Structure formats: structure tokens, C-alpha cells
């Protein structure tokens, strides 16, 4: 499964404005709520519950907030970019700039882990991360993801 096949253009946000973790999660969840019809507050609650288990700020300027939802038919993936960076309680203590948001149905653990692994793999490429940080539009980000994802 390729990332580009499951990411929605409407969930690609290139200018996140929030300055804290909860605000970022609220911003990232808005387009997902619109697409899925799932209550925005419920989405944020699921993400915050997951964050309480341990931060999804994996370091290197990257956060991969994720959660499972009973009312979801298929997985949904979003992307967010914070030019200024946010304290996302990352493992390395540094600001987080690049966010991949993932929601999967409750019963899809294998798919959930497979997509998390694929996202982590493409984000090991420093040139790719730099290109994402410089991107100015959702189309540009989608093009970058498509090109990088084809390498695997």
C-alpha cells in the first residue's frame, strides 16, 4: 500500500498555526472530521488518549499522531506542516515540524502498523524532509510524497 493512495488532498495542511500539541491535533483533525463525518472532539480525544500512552513525536522534527476508531470504515491519512515548529514532547526534545496523522478502524492493526512503518521509512530520508519543509502547497507536498513513496 502506497501512502499516496490513502492520503486525502483535503487533509494536507501546509501552514499549521498552533503552538502546542493539543492545538496541532485539533487543526489536523478538522479536515478528517469533515471527510468522515466523525465528531471533531471525538477525533481529538482519541489522539490525546494515545498521546498519554507516550508521545508520537518520534524525533527529528517528526510527529505521527495516530489512533483507532470504531466508527471508521477505512483508514484515513493526513499531513501537516508547522514552519515554526511545535513542542510535541518529542523523544529528542526538539520542535516538531512534519506531521503525518493516521486514523484506522479498530480492527485493522496489521494495516495500521504497516502504514506507520512505511511513513517512518520515507521520513528517514533527510533530503525528503527538507523538501517537505520548503513546500508551499498541498499539491507540492503530495507530489513529494508520491515521488518518495515510489522509491520503496
- Give catalytic residue positions: 66
Residue 116 CB partners (closer than 8 Å, separation 6+): 64, 66, 102
Which helix (H) or strand (E) is 122 found in, with range? helix 109-122
The CA–CA distances, whole Å, from 97 to 21, 62, 90, 107 equal 12, 6, 11, 30
Cβ–Cβ < 8 Å for 40, 103: no
Write the DSSP string, 87-101: B---TTS--EEEEEE
Q: Where are the alpha helices (DSSP H) in 40-85?
A: 40-53
Amino acid at each position: 500500500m502506497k501512502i499516496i493512495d490513502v492520503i486525502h488532498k483535503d487533509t494536507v495542511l501546509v501552514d499549521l498555526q498552533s503552538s502546542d500539541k493539543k492545538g496541532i491535533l485539533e487543526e489536523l483533525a478538522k479536515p478528517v472530521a469533515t471527510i468522515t463525518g466523525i465528531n471533531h472532539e471525538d477525533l481529538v480525544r482519541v489522539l490525546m488518549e494515545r498521546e498519554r500512552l507516550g508521545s508520537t513525536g518520534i524525533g527529528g522534527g517528526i510527529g505521527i499522531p495516530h489512533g483507532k476508531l470504531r466508527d471508521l470504515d477505512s483508514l484515513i491519512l493526513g499531513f501537516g506542516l508547522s514552519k515554526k515548529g511545535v513542542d510535541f514532547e518529542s523523544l529528542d526534545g526538539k520542535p516538531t515540524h512534519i506531521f503525518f496523522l493516521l486514523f484506522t478502524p479498530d480492527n485493522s492493526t496489521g494495516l495500521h502498523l504497516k502504514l506507520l512503518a512505511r511513513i517512518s521509512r520515507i521520513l528517514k530520508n533527510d533530503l525528503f524532509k527538507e523538501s517537505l519543509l520548503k513546500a508551499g502547497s498541498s499539491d507540492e507536498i503530495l507530489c513529494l510524497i508520491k515521488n518518495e513513496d515510489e522509491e520503496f
